[in-house]
Amino acid sequence: MNRTKGYNSIFAIVIVLLIMIVFVEYAKGFMSSDTGAYSRTQLEEDIQAGTVRRVVIMPNTETPTGAIRVSFNGGLDDVTFYSTDVTAVETLVADNGISYEVKDVPSENVLITGIIPVVVGLVLMVFIFSMFTNMQASGSGNNRMMNFGKSRAKLQSADDNKIKLDDVAGLKEEKEQLTEIIEFLKEPGKFTQVGARIPKGVLLEGAPGTGKTLLARAVAGEAGVPFFTISGSDFVEMFVGVGASRVRDLFAEAKKNAPCIIFIDEIDAVARRRGTGMGGGHDEREQTLNQMLVEMDGFGVNEGIIVMAATNRVDILDPAIMRPGRFDRKITVTRPDIGEREAILKVHAKNKPLSDDVNLKQVAQTTAGFTGADLENLLNESAIKAATENRQFINQADINSSFTKVGIGTEKRSKIISEKEKKITAYHETGHAILFHVLPDVGPVHTISIIPTGLGAAGYTMPLPENDDMFLSKKKMLQDIMVSLGGRIAEEIIFGDITTGASSDIRKATQEARSMVTKYGMSSNIGVINYDENEEDVFIGYDISHKKNHSELVAGEIDKEVKAIIDKCYAKAKEIILQYEDVLHQSSALLIEKEKIGREEFEALFEGKTLPGNIELEI
């Protein structure tokens, strides 16, 4: 909403109200009198009683009528009443020796009776007319009711968009797939002369923060075309038909600016699968989706308009919008690998002074699973920490501290912990760390800490993955389960008791074991059959009629198999920790002393010891 226009409208309303109030109050002084319940009979009685001090007679033009104002002795309030015979009243007060005055007949006030009402009426008419005109001409908040059906997309011109594909680090394959779109927007004739049908839509799918929106802006900037941006939720309103109207208006505006790109962020807000809500076919979201389907590949012709959309819930989109002719290209924007993470870190570190000890390659190695947004946030938190400590540069310690803060939670060094709890935590975390170091497929240890964190953990053990795994092997999954159980095992070995600190570890181990049995077919007893629940059934309509894809007998067998995996992993992990019990004690003592140790200090405890090598578990 234009703030200046809003203030002008409020000022005009206030001025008109003030004029009306002044006019009414001004007129009341001339045109009204407080007659009350006083009469001529009461006047005669007061004259006889001697309480009347003075009388003012104000005859009308149509004599002998008029108004009589009576003043009393003793400080009583004056009263005014109307009389049909002012001459008789004059005679009455004269005969009784009462002081009186006869005022001239008041002439008609032209200003009050004629000019002011006309002026006020004209002002009100002009004000109402100007307000109505502004509402029709304005497309902002001044006319929200009359512009409900207007598109809320923001238009960014080619000159304003400075982002190019070179500004997007990583995503090499994704950028290559979008190159054809850029070429079409630049030279559409090269494609049409050989009979090629240009893609009408590009769907970018991937986890949050992987750079889908940035890619879309880079395509528009590279092609040098206008760029319409809108969120899927901007189409949906409580009034039926508004969303469909906004879709029509958006494509109408895009046709005027063709060739151009329409980018719809979070398209799953409006393009969910139809027939799954509680509103039936008249649901507002479905009406909006139907109009979008028609606009993208219906009876209309959208020459030079490419629709790009982003979502991280592609599984819930309607099949009609996913077919060729609507979203022809489906590009998966994956999480960056180690090389891409290093490139992204370099981009975000351009305007940040780094110390000589900062190793971005090592940071990329320790941030497996981080998206581009996570990496940007990591360096930003590091810069904030450096500025808080009044330093002009970022060192490696800032990045390490920020990594802990972002991934695990802020360390609470001031929290008071008893010596017993500190000792339990030290043995618990060392149990994890020993298995991280000994087992060949789960990566070495990076940091072990017994400092409580903001997420409620009493400590943490951070591994250092050497590679990004595209898939998980059965051996690695079993070793992950063993690592998860290591803390619980160390508590049992040392204290002969167990605590609640391993609850999240047990949950993680159980979920992984169940996935091995029901999803990945890694159990010889259950077989290569998928018994996993259908994750696509995320709607109310599907959930009501959902049926399990296995019998109760199979469910019991699955539970037995999951328990067998956990039990075997527990036994093997306990055997390994007992083998390195001396390291368990030494590492725990070092942790109690220092609260946090790194890879070099921990691995030094294994000098002269032989690692078991490959560990096989028959499941």
Q: Which residues are catalytic?
A: 429
612 is in an annotated binding site: no
Write the CB contacts of 476 (distance below 8 Å, at least 6 apart in sequence).
441, 442, 469
| Of 91, 48, 50, the residue nearest 68 (C-alpha) | 91
Please indicate if the annotation marks 64 as binding a ligand.
no
- Rg, Å, the chain Cα set: 42
Q: Is 432 annotated as a binding residue?
A: yes
Residue 448, CB-side half-sphere exposure with 13 Å CA sphere = 31
51 is in an annotated binding site: no
Q: Each residue of 482-492: b (16+ CB within 10 Å) or e? A: bbbbbbbbbbb
- Please check if 212 is assigned to a binding site: yes
Q: Which of 208, 212, 199 is closest to 170 using CA atoms?
A: 212
Is 505 labelled a binding residue? yes
Q: Is 6 annotated as a binding residue?
A: no
User: Which among 59, 156, 68 is positioned nearest to 104, based on CA atoms?
Assistant: 59
Rounded Cα gap, residues 476 and 467, in angstroms: 13
Tell me, what DSSP letter sits at residue 412? -
Q: What are phi and psi of 56, to 5 degrees?
A: -115, 125
Instruction: Please classify residue 107 by burial: count the beta carbons closer than 10 Å to its beta carbon, then call 0-12 exposed, 13-18 middle and 19+ buried.
Output: exposed
- CB under 8 Å to 506, separation ≥6 — which residues? 484, 485, 488
Q: Is 208 annotated as a binding residue?
A: yes
Among residues 489, 482, 503, 490, the alpha carbon closest in space to that of 423 is found at 490
Instruction: Please indicate if the annotation marks 84 as binding a ligand.
Output: no
On whether the CB atoms of residues 483 and 505 are closer than 8 A, the answer is: no
Binding site, annotated residues: 206-213, 428, 432, 505
Binding site, annotated residues for ATP: 206-213
Binding site, annotated residues for Zn(2+): 428, 432, 505
